[in-house]
Structure formats: C-alpha cells, structure tokens
Amino acid sequence: MFINPFYFARKGLAGHIADLADRVTGKTLDVGCGSKPYESLYASSEYIGLEYDTPENRASKEADFFYDGETFPFESASFDSVVANEVFEHVFNPDRFLDEVHRVLKSGGRLLMTMPFVWDEHEQPHDFARYSSFGIRYLLEKHGFEIVDQRKS
C-alpha cells in the first residue's frame, strides 16, 4: 500500500478547520483560497476567494480576486473574517502580509490561520519560512492581533 505520508496530516487539518469554522462569520476573505476546499464549512454570509496573481491561478478560475503579493484589492475594514489556510509559509514578506490582513479586517474581526508543522524540510521552491508556535504568536501580536485560540494538531 502506498500512501502519501502527509495524507493523514491534511485529513486532520480539515477536521481542525471544521472545529473552528463556526467562528468564521459575516463577510469572509479566504487568502490563498486555492480550489476553495473549506468554503462550505464556514458560517459566512459572503465568501470571497483571493489568490496571488499568476497565470496558473488565473487559469484555474477558482479565485474571485487576485493580488500582486503586496496589497489586497479591498478597502480597509471590509471583512468580518479572514482565513489563510496553509498559506503563511509561502509568503515572502510576512510583515506586509499581516499588515494587509489587519487592514482589511473590521475592528473585532477574526483571523483563522493554519500552517504546517509536520514537514521536515521546506517545500522547494515556494516556501520561505517555518514558524514555531512562539514565533507566529510574536508576529501576530506585533501586528495588532489578539490570540484567542492557538492549537497544535
């Protein structure tokens, strides 16, 4: 039997997202939405998928909007929730990314962010960092986020 060793980690991720999905409400931005695999889990009144602007992402026709890797194409304080699942490790400039997430969230808005902690090495060539739980807490608090719940899977 041949099973990808990360199959169970990804399957577990879906379960963890499902456990927290009821906290994702109102107008929701999914940054790095991919094929939008978790859209149906969220309690959102409106769901918008955002992807990095590449020919491949445009060809997939999944995302609703695209961005240049620097600035999200939305007004400030326009979302109740932002989700970024398995995206942050691919971000070249984490400070800029968190500033943008914070900018588009309404006051009191929520961010649900997941990232892998199971890989031994970076997935080349598109991963720029791996974060410890302490490192990610530091970055989020530095950018004005209050940590409500932090879990390891």
pLDDT tens-place string over residues 8-63 = 456 667 888 889 999 999 999 999 999 999 999 999 999 999 999 999 989 988 99
Question: Is 126's pLDDT higher than 80?
Answer: no
The pLDDT of residue 36 is 94
For the chain, domain boundaries? 22-142
Q: What is the pLDDT of residues 73-92, one digit of tens each?
A: 999 999 999 999 989 888 88
Cis bond upstream, residue 125 (ω within 30): yes
Q: Name the least confident of 79-83, 100-104, 118-122, 127-131.
A: 118-122
In terms of pLDDT, which residue wins out, 19 or 4? 19
C-alpha span between 139 and 17 (Å, rounded) = 21
Give rounded-to-5 percent helix, strand, coil for the chain.
35, 25, 45
d(CA 105, CA 88): 17
22-142 belongs to which homologous superfamily?
Vaccinia Virus protein VP39 (3.40.50.150)
- Of 53, 51, 57, 108, nearest to 84 by C-alpha is 51
Angle between helices 94-104 and 133-142 (to 10 degrees): 50
